[in-house]
Structure 1
Amino acid sequence: MAWFEKRGACQWRVVIARRGYPRQSKTFTTKAEAEAWAKMIESEMARGVWIDRSEAESTTLRELLDRYEREVVPGKRGAVQECSVLATWRDTPLAVRTVATIRGADVAALRDEWLKDYAPATVLRRLAVLSHVFNVARKEWGMESLANPVELVRKPSPNNARTRRIVTASPSTGRSRGRTQDELALVVEASESPMLPALVTLAVETAMRRGEIAALRWEHVDLERCVAHLPETKNGNSRDVPLSPAAVAALVALLPEPPAKRRKVPAVPSELRGRVFAMRPDGITQAFDRAQHRARAVYEAKCTRECLSIDPGFLNDLRFHDLRHEATSRLAAKFQLHELAKITGHRDTRMLLRYYHPDAADLAKRLR
């Protein structure tokens, strides 16, 4: 049953009371609007399809984002990055609107505005976070009537695939791909971080992710078996990573035992525990980027002194994550696809192929 109350000169309040449902009320500017709303709600209750919209209609996007940050974000691995994305959404005009009024067109307008200044992958990440916020509210916070506006929006296609391989011979002596790692050797030489040589070696020899290397602990390293155990990875699975002789040597060099007392392949002391590298993932990236820029400056100065042409691509546009691409491409020459996936931790072979960038010249040699 619905009844109407006139409240002031320009307001009508409608109240609906029906057995088995919570009392519903809403205020409109005209009685016709109040009657139409009451008729719709009573019809839904009669057909048993009514869903409470009151919370979605009274909760702003900022309030929803705050609750998501308090209850959901702390349990996620990328909590810091996700908080940054949530702060971006709080700064938008949509933050002051109730979530029930946000439509796909509103999100699409923001998407188009962001694409003018940001890469598609950045915009896609922001949309993904907002979509998860709406889904959690709809599935777990009692807002079943809430529609997810992001699902109706066309997603930008990220063009972030990289095929960068390590140049293993300086441009002045010709290009080749072997084991000399000229680019990496110059980066390591230019670095002021004592940890960077071992970090680079592990990355290019094992295909481990930056975060996995930063979280590596001595109690999970078995130098005698040449295995590093990763109890928690990006995709949530644990895995064992085989260590090459170069990777083992890099870890041995970090042991506190004096070199004169070391065996050829010593075991990690049982009392040695904790993280192998006292660096955060972003610190690894910063150290690598600084070393690359210094190495590039040294290379350009050398070319100028010796009157050599400067290769614009040498020691340029090189990222620490490219070492995972390089390692995957090298390991693919030794292992089959299913074995390679176990080493790199890829569950989807399509993603694995994104990291595999063979040299066409090397493939051509197999045809001879």
Structure 2
Amino acid sequence: MTKSPKETLKDPVTGKPLPKGVWYRGPGQYQARRMVNGKRHRETFASASLARRWLQDVSAKAHVGQLEPPARKRNQITFGELFERFGRERMTERDADRMGHLPALLGSNIASLKIDKWTNGDVRDFRDAMLAAGLAKGTVVKRLNMIAAIIEYANSEWDTTILNHASAKRTKRPEGADRKRNRRLKDGEEDELLRAASQPDGVFKHYPDVVWLIRWSIEQGCRLGESLSLRWQDIDFRRQTISLARVKSDRHREELGPEIRPMTKGAQRVLMEKRATMEKVPDRKDIVFSVGERKIFSVLFGRMTRQAGIQDLTFHDLRHEATSRLARYLNPIELTRVTGHRDLKSLNRYYQPVPGDIADKTR
């Protein structure tokens, strides 16, 4: 007997058939639908498994008469409910440290507002309150942009018609928030950094991999989260590539799978040297850089640099350093392939060349 089209639908991500009642709407969008007593219940989730779990929950509640009617009119919900739904459907697969500014939005005054009752004044008050509380201008902008992005997504995918007062066109951003950071390593700072990280009584005395991580970051320019997620199975010395399942944008992983980047010669040397110092061949699933929890690492790195007398240096500045060094040899398009920047505009924020290096390229 021939199967119906719905029975043959497959999840383009896993290749497996979609559960009954689940439709694929696009990357990270699986809509679950169930008709109960003539009323349609539907929700959208980030994965087919989450959608299936919701359908099972709906069926169980309907069976015992505990199923609530479909959500009330969309314009009656609050921004808090909107933020929660976005987190549930779009960010469930993320680690806790990758939830961004969503928890802060859920705890803000904006969360209690009805989506059809807010004004530009509400957003301005939210902006000004954050600035008065001492938050960095960049943080304020990121939170405003996140609200704007959630509204844009809701209007596009959830059939809402919310006026996007959080957009930059409607609410002015703090001046100076987009200031380009230009911190690079000064003469002697790289050696001083490595010396401080390798001190037997230093803040990283229990994590010798920190030295390797610093060297790797200066050569390859990965983001900290990307480097800490690396396992030896992600390193391909023959093809000279690294495979990153965890990147800043989940869209790449959802649509194309792990991101493959070229591995620089310097980065290859660092890993080969590291492997040569190990007592036994590492298991393919072993983490490459064992430096403890990411948040604690960032705090300890700041403490270490201050103790070493290195001022105003964050670990992320090493990505700036690597990008600027690699720019001597690679054209901008090639450079984005190595660093993982999405476009030339974002790349430009990390590129701080020495004027003499550019002059040397001229004729």
Give the TM-score taking structure 1 as reference length.
0.65
Which residue matches 2:350?
A: 355
Which residue matches 1:346?
A: 341
Does the 8 A contact of 1:111 with 1:123 survive in 2?
yes
Q: CA deviation at 1:197?
A: 0.4
Task: Decide which moves more: 95-104 or 223-232.
Answer: 223-232
* Match status 1:88 vs 2:104: yes
Task: Output aligned runs, 1:138-153, within 5 Å.
Answer: 138-143=155-160, 145-151=161-167, 152-153=170-171
Q: CA deviation at 1:160?
A: 4.0
**1:246–1:208 Cα change, 3 Å:** closer
Q: Which of these residues, 154, 161, 165, is aligned with residue 180 of structure 2? A: 161
Q: Which runs of 5+ in 2 are unaligned?
A: 1-71, 253-258
Q: Which runs of 5+ in 1 are unaligned?
A: 1-53, 171-180, 260-267, 297-314
Q: CA deviation at 1:255?
A: 6.1
Which residue matches 1:229?
A: 243
Q: CA deviation at 1:56?
A: 3.9
Distance 2:278 2:98 in 1: 38
**1:246–1:58 Cα change, 3 Å:** closer
Question: Could you say what secondary structure the match of 1:319 adopts?
Answer: coil
Which residue matches 1:132?
A: 149
Which residue matches 1:182?
A: 191
**1:216–1:142 Cα change, 3 Å:** same
Task: Output aligned runs, 1:256-335, within 5 Å.
Answer: 258=279, 271-278=283-290, 279-296=292-309, 315-335=310-330
Distance 1:139 1:79 in 2: 26
Distance 1:352 1:163 in 2: 13
Q: CA deviation at 1:131?
A: 1.8
Which residue matches 2:116?
A: 100
Q: CA deviation at 1:213?
A: 0.5
Distance 2:89 2:267 in 1: 44
* Match status 1:72 vs 2:90: yes
Question: Could you say what secondary structure the match of 1:101 adopts?
Answer: coil
Task: Give the residue type in structure 2 aligned to 1:59.
Answer: I
**1:255–1:280 Cα change, 3 Å:** farther
Distance 1:364 1:137 in 2: 49
Q: Which of these residues, 253, 269, 281, is aligned with residue 248 of structure 1? A: 269
Distance 1:120 1:202 in 2: 31
Task: Give the residue type in structure 1 aligned to 2:354.
Answer: D
Distance 1:366 1:97 in 2: 56
Q: CA deviation at 1:284?
A: 3.6
Task: Give the residue type in structure 1 aligned to 2:187.
Answer: T
Distance 1:258 1:90 in 2: 48
Question: Could you say what secondary structure the match of 2:213 adopts?
Answer: helix
Q: Deviations over 1:142-175 (max 9, x none)?
A: 43x33222132223342342111111237xxxxx
Higher-Rg member (1/2): 1
Distance 1:199 1:274 in 2: 15
Which residue matches 1:199?
A: 213
Task: Decide which moves more: 315-324 or 151-160.
Answer: 151-160
**1:218–1:133 Cα change, 3 Å:** same
Identity %, equivalent residues: 30
Does the 8 A contact of 2:220 with 2:266 survive in 1?
no
**1:81–1:341 Cα change, 3 Å:** closer
Question: Could you say what secondary structure the match of 1:205 adopts?
Answer: helix
Q: CA deviation at 1:232?
A: 4.5
